[in-house]
Amino acid sequence: MVFLFNGGDCEQSFNVQEASGKFFCEDFNGGPPTKRGEKAFIVVTALKDDTVYHNDWVVVGDLFTLFDEGNNFVADQLITIYGSDNVTDPSNILQAVQYHSSCSSNLFLKDRFGATQLVIWVNEDQGTVSCFANQTFELDITVPIDIVGGPATITSLTVASNVDPFFFNLTDKVAGVEVDAGETLSVSIAIPIDLTQKQTYNLLVTIAALTSLGQQCRATDLVSFTAGYPLPPIFPTFAPTTAPTGIPPRDGDPETAICNLEADIDCRGSSGETCRSLRPPAGGEAVQDTITLTYRITNEGGANATVTSAVKTLPNVTELLTNGDVVLGFGGTLEFTDTATVNLVPGGQVRYDFFVAGKGTISNGECFDDESYIF
């Protein structure tokens, strides 16, 4: 198994084991660090014997691997995070976690156990199941057929991205390459993608060249695509989907733009925390909390879109969000807010499922998107 060290305290934990008494977490001395670049010493051991699965420093934002030479993991593990590599001194403990590491109490990708989060596992039945994938993209650079000054010699090529590693300098691969008018130069790059988190990836490509007559040329292009989809937190975990989907340049031209609506739900408890962070009381009677739901339909397609229908659901209730057609400009959003009362039951788990969907059209097509929020 591979974990991501997010840092932070026990309050961010999210898994199904707490309700069944299989998960425990306690912070000490302010808890683990949260700032990128800071580090902590993490020791992972079996609960009932001296088996050690990990014993080393880990930087916030980095991955660490639990391994026992191919043997199955024991039923329960301890994750102890220290502020020092002197693990014999209890005063150095920042966080102590116990969780169930076999499948009798389900594990899911992106389960959070205090400062650590499960992101990859390997087993005989499924092979490697991961939240991450490196997708290779081909950049095609074409020299215009009517270029003045003959062939162009590439002098630099860079790609800036909104995700880590944020910048690719491909100049060494292409510098000095001569491209004739009308011809295309292809270069590939690998972009790391988190497949369980739906998000838009932006690539700003910048190229410079020199013609045979000494004329300098420069061009830029912004390429966007959307990839990933969040896995339901309490469903059996299959391999993450979906494959990346491209979005044409957003130039506002209805003849080249696509219809692309994005549905989204934000859910907050009465204290402002996300609904998936709500926890039942440790004991006593069930309590209620009032949650606030914000439903959004956003036009991401690059041209005006007509939203022909939009619906939302509360428990056992489905409502229309619009009375007739609504025109959204690029980046425009339909937003609606609701409140609902939920029960937080000690020792048990109640499932809540909210849904929003929108359908729209532009001059050359139609589109649909929906989003579920489950906790």
Is residue 45 domain-shared with residue 101, that is, in the same domain? yes
44 within a domain of the structure (yes/no): yes
Q: CATH number for the domain including 271? A: 2.60.40
CA-nearest of 272, 219, 260 to 364 is 260
Structurally, the chain folds into a number of domains equal to 3
CA-nearest of 211, 226, 225 to 264 is 226
Question: What pLDDT was estimated at residue 247?
Answer: 43
Within 10 angstroms of residue 52's Cβ, the number of other Cβ atoms is: 12
Is the distance from CB of 367 to CB of 259 less than 8 angstroms?
yes
169 within a domain of the structure (yes/no): yes
CA distance 278 to 271: 10
256 within a domain of the structure (yes/no): yes
Q: CATH number for the domain including 182? A: 2.60.40.10
Is residue 271 domain-shared with residue 355, that is, in the same domain? yes
Is residue 17 domain-shared with residue 105, that is, in the same domain? yes
Is residue 107 domain-shared with residue 79, that is, in the same domain? yes
Is residue 80 domain-shared with residue 171, that is, in the same domain? no
Select the more confidently predicted residue: 215 or 316: 215
Cβ-proximal residues to 108 (8 Å cutoff; 6+ apart), any chain: 15, 16, 118, 231, 233, 234, 235, 237
Question: What pLDDT was estimated at residue 245?
Answer: 44
Which residue among 227, 259, 284 closes a domain? 227
H or E element in which residue 174 lies: helix 171-174
Is residue 222 domain-shared with residue 111, that is, in the same domain? no
Is the distance from CB of 47 to CB of 74 less than 8 angstroms?
yes
Is residue 293 domain-shared with residue 189, that is, in the same domain? no
240 within a domain of the structure (yes/no): no
Residue 114 φ/ψ, nearest 5 degrees? 65, -125
Which residue among 105, 126, 147 closes a domain? 126
CA-nearest of 250, 225, 356, 355 to 305 is 250
Which residue among 170, 194, 227 closes a domain? 227
CA distance 159 to 189: 9
Q: Which of 246-255, 267-276, 283-292 has the lowest mean pLDDT?
A: 246-255
Is residue 120 domain-shared with residue 195, that is, in the same domain? no
Is residue 186 domain-shared with residue 218, that is, in the same domain? yes
CA distance 128 to 121: 6
Q: Which of 45-54, 245-254, 349-358 has the lowest mean pLDDT?
A: 245-254
Query: Can you give the residue range of the structural domain that contains 306?
Result: 251-374
235 within a domain of the structure (yes/no): no
Is residue 282 domain-shared with residue 213, that is, in the same domain? no
CA-nearest of 6, 65, 355, 58 to 14 is 6
* Residues 212-215: contacts with CB under 8 Å, at least 24 apart: 212/149, 212/150, 212/151, 212/153, 213/148, 213/149, 213/150, 214/149, 215/148, 215/149
Strand partners, 130: 120
* DSSP string covering 225-264: EEE--PPPTTS---------EEE------TTT----EEEE
244 within a domain of the structure (yes/no): no
CA distance 352 to 147: 60
Residue 11 φ/ψ, nearest 5 degrees? -60, -25
155 within a domain of the structure (yes/no): yes
CA-nearest of 8, 19, 113 to 66 is 113
Is residue 13 domain-shared with residue 78, that is, in the same domain? yes
Strand partners, 85: none
In percent, how much of the chain has pLDDT > 70?
83
pTM score above 0.75: no
Residue whose structure tokens are 């010699």: 153
Is residue 95 domain-shared with residue 149, that is, in the same domain? no
Q: What are 297-331's pLDDT values in tens digits?
A: 888 876 788 888 787 876 656 677 777 788 888 78
Q: How far apart are the first and last CA of the chain?
A: 24
Sign of the Cα pseudo-torsion (207, 210, 211, 216, in order): positive
Q: What are 218-246's pLDDT values in tens digits?
A: 888 878 777 775 544 444 444 444 444 44
188 within a domain of the structure (yes/no): yes
Over residues 240-268, mean pLDDT: 63
